[in-house]
Amino acid sequence: EHKELAFVEINIQGSVANILIDEIKDKPKMVSDDDIPVNIIASRYGVIRKINVFDGWENVKIGDAVMKGDLLVSAVYEDRYKKLTLKHARAEIIAETDYFIQIEFPLKQTIKEINGIRKKTYEINILGKNFLLGNNNNDLPKEKTNYDLYFFWIKLPINVIETAYFNVKEKNITYNFEQSRQGAFFILEEKEKTEMKDMEIISKKTEEIIKNDKYIIKAYYTVLMDIAEEQAIESNIPWKNTDDMS
């Protein structure tokens, strides 16, 4: 990881390039423990299928049906002397539950096509720190090209980044039934990969309709997912952030 630069100077004398670099001095990092006692509650309804408690005391068992907000793992510990202590509960609670995704793919769309280069900008990168020459235009599609700099055969710790910004042209498109269906299912599959990446799909059912010039897919799932959600608590019970409960 490169530190930010406070000063860079390049002096070329004959065949020698002298590079002077002064780095910004890091401020001392302040260390603070902002950990607080929390319970684990249910983020949604479901039937408990698996319980892994890493810290805290489970309040449910496998096969229990729970509703959103129910206490799953308690932060409150009572020892053999009836003394209460709080902890930061941590757990993985896998439940069988329902999940729903709806995709709407417009039959008529306006797309943007690249239509030539509008402008180019340049950045100088010195030891990981970029210096922009010109103004960015993040509203336009762009392409970046990286060039290394050499002094004779010596590669300098400097490179130039060229950014080409392209003109765009709008184009109206009307999709037929099969094109719309394929587009909608492609979006659904991509959404499953990201939104449901930590879930196990047990079953899936889809409904397809065309309404208001949109191809609509309604996907109904039965899934296994972690429904553990932290909930901070306030209490006068002593707070002890440690695994030693003896």
CB 55 within 8 A of CB 88: yes
Q: Measured on CA atoms in the order 147, 150, 154, 157, is the torsion positive or negative?
A: negative
**Cα distance between residue 182 and residue 201, in whole Å:** 22
Asked whether the beta carbons of 114 and 166 are under 8 A apart, the reply is: yes
Reported as a single tens digit per residue, the pLDDT across 94-153 is: 999 999 999 999 999 887 777 777 778 888 878 777 777 767 767 777 888 888 877 778
Query: What's the pLDDT score for residue 1?
Result: 44
The C-alpha angle 164, 166, 169, rounded to 5 degrees, equals: 175
Location of structure tokens 């899934």: 223
Token digits of residue 36: 């607080």
Most confident of 26-35, 65-74, 133-142: 65-74
Evaluate whether 118 touches 166 at the Cβ level (below 8 Å). yes
Q: With 70 as the cut, is the pLDDT of residue 15 above it?
A: no
- Please, are residues 71 and 56 in contact by the beta-carbon 8 Å criterion? no
Percent of the chain with pLDDT over 70: 80
pLDDT at 244: 44
Q: What is the 3-state secondary structure (H, E, C) of the chain?
A: CCCCEEEEEEEEECCEEEEEEEECCCCCCCCCCCCCCEEEEECCCEEEEEEEEEECEECCCCCCEECCCCEEEECEEECCCCCEEECECEEEEEEEEEEEEEEEEECEEEEEEEEEEEEEEEEEEECCEEEEECCCCCCCCEEEEEEEEEECCEEEEEEEEEEEEEEEEEEEEECCHHHHHHHHHHHHHHHHHHHCCCCEEEEEEEEEEEECCEEEEEEEEEEEEECEEEEECCCCCCECCCCCCC
